[in-house]
Amino acid sequence: MASVPSLASTVQQRLAEALSAALPEAGSADPLLRRSDRADFQANGILALAKKAKGNPRELATLVVAAIPANDVLKEIEVSGPGFLNITVTDRAIVDTLAARAADDRLGVPYNPDAGTTVIDYAQPNVAKEMHVGHLRSAVIGAAMVEILEFTGEKVIRRHHIGDWGTQFGMLIQYLIEHPHELDHKEGEEVSGEEAMSSLNRLYKASRALFDSDEEFKARSRDRVVALQSGDKETLALWQRFVDESKIYFYSVFDQLDMEIRDPDVVGESAYNAMLDETCRLLEESGVAVISDGALCVFFDDIKGPDGNPTPLIVRKSNGGYGYAATDLSAVRDRVGNLGADTLLYVVDARQSLHFKMVWETARRAGWLNDKVKAVQLAFGTVLGADGKPFKTREGETVRLVDLLQQAVERATAVVRDKDEERGQLTEAEIVEHGRQVGIGAIKYADLSTSAVRDYKFDLEQMVSLHGDTSVYLQYAYVRIRSIMRNAGDAKPAAHPELELAPAERALGLHLDRFAETVAEVAESYEPHKLAAYLYQLASHLTKFYDQCQVLSASNPPEVVENRLFLIDLTARTLHQGMALLGIRTPERL
Ligand code: ARG
């Protein structure tokens, strides 16, 4: 597929040509084109170039303008300030470019089949534990990054690094041995995610209580850990039951989140067990890790604890047990060595940043990471309650994810029902389905619309508000266009480059032109909130457009109707595509 150049890149190209005509010694210098409020674009590059050539910037700017041949893209170029160019493009150029974009299924977003391979680590809950809002963030942000990266051509390998290993399994398994029917399912009965979690919870609490009160049980649990680690068949089979039961729960949550998680991509901590010994041996042999107080440790000059002593990365504990770090180091080896990753992307809580810093530095020293491989943490902040404190229930317990999702869907369904009250267009089934799409969309959008590293307040009321920067606002923008399309009768969208555009049409058109570059930027910087911001601005431009331009007015000449239908249709497709990249549905009616 030939890629569709944006208007910005066309203008950039024209200016670069004029620049090298006016100042041949500058070669292929960058005119530094930016979007601007004063005109459509602004070129800032001339100043520095003139200085370098020891010339007068305003003079050079004037020369550049004179070097631009007659054309139908640039309408007006004004030299301003010390040597900036303010550029206004023709209405024709806007509509022509958008028409090319509209003719492309991908809306002009380039696809690079030779892009690299990213292994993305996201949606990593822990076995036998309830999922919390942190797991939600990782899942939502990670899933959006998967879509965005794949859309640009990147090969993406998903890894759900679930917490499925550790000493707590000794106690759980031992308890199950002593209470063998606790995880049994009734013949032929399907267990819901909720039921699975509630039996796991019950088992967790009961075994914990026993572990804390009964020394003999504690001892048996410890022996069980040893049996598990040495690969005892019976113990492993019981461990597997916890994993399977947890997966019923995880999948049900991901399903509610309208998110596809595939079983082969669930490669938890346990998957690296067979590598741990070797990982340690290699580190020790190469001297990257040393034994300190019986533990295998890696030290860093710049990482110290509050007491001023160096804080090491502990790869193997003094009792011989492997921890989180050994697993993550082995995962790096696997992902780079076996999966061929050139980017490792971790969508993990910012509070684990130090851990990753140490793991990557260790991997670099060991040669498992090199300059050709990029390791990045897409770190996210803490979810806060309305009171600005870490999100807890009134009783001080962690908020259950499923309760949150349910509340969001309930609120959203009420909003949808309310809005439909006077029109009565929707059936009950539609209200329920759309309520889900709006509620889940609201949760995702709230997560995706603020910069990930920032903590954010979880405020359901605000999330499902019809006004402001919410997914519902975007969904309504889409619905409104679809409704106009249905009411358009015989009028079909068609681009009319010969027409003069109203200011609101131009603004909308110029913003549409930015879609491809926004997607590229987001894929590059791992900042999905910039796509959310783009879509919100798009919807805002659309609102202004409606205020100022009637689409299906009888007094409009037919070509104006067609051109406006064309503009809003492309807007709808852009909204739809952009929201899909964020994992948010766009219902046809609301
Ligand atoms: N399971 C961990 C948690 O709940 C997140 C895992 C992050 N990924 C990794 N490779 N360490 O905090």
DSSP string, 285-310: HTTSSEEETTEEEE--TT-B-TTSSB
pLDDT at 520: 97
Q: Is the CB of 447 under 6 A from ligand 1?
A: no
Asked whether the predicted pLDDT for residue 1 surpasses 70, the reply is no
Q: Which atom of ligand 1 is found nearest the CA of 355? A: 11
| 472 SS3 class | helix
Asked whether the predicted pLDDT for residue 540 surpasses 60, the reply is yes
Q: With contact defined as beta carbons under 8 Å apart, do 147 and 581 qualify?
A: yes
Q: Is the CB of 334 under 6 A from ligand 1?
A: no
Q: Is the CB of 348 under 6 A from ligand 1?
A: yes
Ligand 1, atom 5, lies closest to the CA of: 124
Q: Report how far ligand 1's centroid is from the alpha carbon of 306 (Å).
A: 25
Q: Report how far ligand 1's centroid is from the alpha carbon of 474 (Å).
A: 32
Mean pLDDT computed over 573-582: 98
Asked whether the predicted pLDDT for residue 388 surpasses 90, the reply is no
Domain borders along the chain are: 7-89, 168-261
- Find the Cα–Cα–Cα–Cα dihedral 295, 300, 302, 303, rounded to 10°: -30
Mean pLDDT computed over 571-576: 98
Q: Report how far ligand 1's centroid is from the alpha carbon of 219 (Å).
A: 28
The model's confidence at residue 37, banded by pLDDT at 50, 70 and 90, is: confident
Burial of 331 from C-beta contacts in 10 A (0-12 / 13-18 / 19+): buried
Asked whether the predicted pLDDT for residue 275 surpasses 70, the reply is yes
Q: Report how far ligand 1's centroid is from the alpha carbon of 125 (Å).
A: 7
The model's confidence at residue 130, banded by pLDDT at 50, 70 and 90, is: very high
Q: Which atom of ligand 1 is found nearest the CA of 331? A: 10
Q: Report how far ligand 1's centroid is from the alpha carbon of 478 (Å).
A: 36
| 387 SS3 class | coil
Q: In Å, how far from its chain's centre is CA 414?
A: 28
Cβ within 8 Å of residue 445, ≥6 positions away: 463, 470, 471, 474, 532, 582, 584
pLDDT at 460: 87
Question: In whole angstroms, what is the distance from residue 354 CA to residue 450 CA?
Answer: 23
Ligand 1, atom 8, lies closest to the CA of: 161
Portion of the chain with pLDDT greater than 70, in percent: 100
DSSP, residue by residue, 263-281? GGG---GGGGHHHHHHHHH
Q: Is the CB of 328 under 6 A from ligand 1?
A: yes
What are the DSSP E strand ranges found in 227-272?
none
Asked whether the predicted pLDDT for residue 398 surpasses 80, the reply is no
Q: Report how far ligand 1's centroid is from the alpha carbon of 345 (Å).
A: 12
The least confident of 190-204, 250-264, 381-395 is 381-395
Q: Is the CB of 161 under 6 A from ligand 1?
A: yes
Asked whether the predicted pLDDT for residue 281 surpasses 90, the reply is yes
Q: Which residue has the higher pLDDT, 304 or 336?
A: 336
Mean pLDDT computed over 24-53: 87
pLDDT at 2: 56
Mean pLDDT computed over 430-455: 95
Whether domain 7-89 has CATH 3.90.110.10: the reply is no
Mean pLDDT computed over 338-348: 98
Q: Is the CB of 327 under 6 A from ligand 1?
A: no
Q: Report how far ligand 1's centroid is from the alpha carbon of 163 (Å).
A: 7
Q: Is the CB of 562 under 6 A from ligand 1?
A: no
Q: Is the CB of 160 under 6 A from ligand 1?
A: no
Mutate to test the pocket of ligand 1, among 121, 122, 130, 161 (most ligand atoms within 8 A of CB): 161
What are the DSSP E strand ranges found in 82-220?
84-89, 117-121, 155-159
Question: How is residue 106 written in tokens?
Answer: 């991908």
Q: Report how far ligand 1's centroid is from the alpha carbon of 342 (Å).
A: 21
Question: How is residue 52 written in tokens?
Answer: 């370098």
Mean pLDDT computed over 448-474: 91
Q: Is the CB of 126 under 6 A from ligand 1?
A: yes
DSSP, residue by residue, 96-131? HHHHHHHTSTTTT----TT--EEEEE----BTTS--
The model's confidence at residue 467, banded by pLDDT at 50, 70 and 90, is: confident
Q: Report how far ligand 1's centroid is from the alpha carbon of 260 (Å).
A: 19
Phi, psi of 319 (to 5 degrees): -85, 5
Question: How is residue 564 written in tokens?
Answer: 């406006």
Asked whether the predicted pLDDT for residue 334 surpasses 90, the reply is yes
Question: In whole angstroms, what is the distance from residue 42 CA to residue 198 CA?
Answer: 60
pTM of the predicted protein model: 0.95
Task: Count each helix (H run) and each strand (E run) in the chain, helices first.
Answer: 20, 13
Asked whether the predicted pLDDT for residue 3 surpasses 80, the reply is no
Q: Report how far ligand 1's centroid is from the alpha carbon of 289 (Å).
A: 23
Mean pLDDT computed over 428-442: 96
Mutate to test the pocket of ligand 1, among 352, 355, 378 (most ligand atoms within 8 A of CB): 352
pLDDT at 550: 95
Mutate to test the pocket of ligand 1, among 243, 348, 356 (most ligand atoms within 8 A of CB): 348
Cα distances (Å, whole numbers) of residue 246 to 41, 109, 186, 194: 54, 39, 17, 10
Asked whether the predicted pLDDT for residue 396 surpasses 80, the reply is no
Ligand 1, atom 11, lies closest to the CA of: 328
Q: Round the average pLDDT of the chain to a whole number and report it.
A: 94
